A and B are shown apart, each in its own frame.
Chain A
Amino acid sequence: MNFDSIKLQYEIPANNFTAAGEIVSSMKKVLSHLVINPAVIKRVAIAAYEGEMNAVIHAGGGSVEVTIDPDKITVKIADQGAGIPDLELAMQEGYSTAPEDIKQLGFGAGMGLPNMKENADVLDIDTRVGQGTTVVITVYIR
């Protein structure tokens, strides 16, 4: 890859599903222009979108920082929400604390975190109850 590190920053507003879609759309365009393997872009996009949705649904929004290095893409999603009391439980597929109105939109099936884990090469979650959660998704460009 013939470029230096590129950084993209976005804000995720609270209760705004459209904005999360915009972020992933913008991110995908930048990655496509850099001629990164479409399979890698898809994995980054899925993991990032799930993370953004979690911030919208559970934490009143947050921020996204995407760093594109020649060998890897890192997406850091940080919120100042309620935190995750039992991370092991939250990582289980099918476990969800999403409200009913969110489920009716097709989210909140308890697949967000498992999907992020499946699509990331490395998934780091730092969560503190009452303070917030920071998720770092790393996908290597092979």
Chain B
Amino acid sequence: MKVRDFAHRLGLDVLDGNDGLDGEVTGMYVGDLLSWVMSHAGKGSAWVTIHAHVNIVAVALITDLSCIIIAEGVKPDKATLDKAEQEKIPVLATEMTAYEVCWKAHEILQAEGVC
């Protein structure tokens, strides 16, 4: 399922990284320990985090994640958005908790036969 459609169905705000919206979401991953995320998140996952600093873009890039979802109303700084645009990594934002994001994402991704 394309990041663009996924973001729309979940009602997420697309903050940046528009060039990556045609990437495929192949799963979900949640976590805030960056080393752990890098070593465990699967390629193509949509990653839910409460971090908003620029390093999340590096983590997404290294791990080949499809997009970053910043949950719980946390706002990313400009450096994060600029870097995300440059690396074509969509940054999506929501007021939902990480749990709510995953719960809704599960319903959508399961219906689409993704995971």
| A106 engages B33 (CB within 8 Å) | yes
Determine the distance from Cα of A134 to Cα of B25 in the docked complex, in whole angstroms.
Answer: 38
Q: How many residues of B contact A (CB 8 A)?
A: 22
Q: How many residues of A contact B (CB 8 A)?
A: 22
How many inter-chain residue pairs (CB < 8 Å) link A and B?
63
Task: Determine which of A18, A50, A115, A119 lies in contact with B54 in the assembled complex, contact meaning CB atoms within 8 Å.
Answer: A18
B51 is an interface residue with CB less than 8 A from chain A: yes
| B35 engages A28 (CB within 8 Å) | no
A32 shortest CB reach to chain B, Å = 11
Residues of chain A whose beta carbon lies under 8 Å from any beta carbon of chain B: 17-18, 20-21, 24-25, 28, 38, 42, 45-46, 49-50, 105-107, 109, 111-112, 115, 118-119
B63 is an interface residue with CB less than 8 A from chain A: yes
B53 is an interface residue with CB less than 8 A from chain A: yes
| Top 8 closest pairs, chain A to chain B, by CB | A21-B58, A111-B35, A106-B34, A45-B62, A109-B33, A46-B38, A106-B51, A18-B54
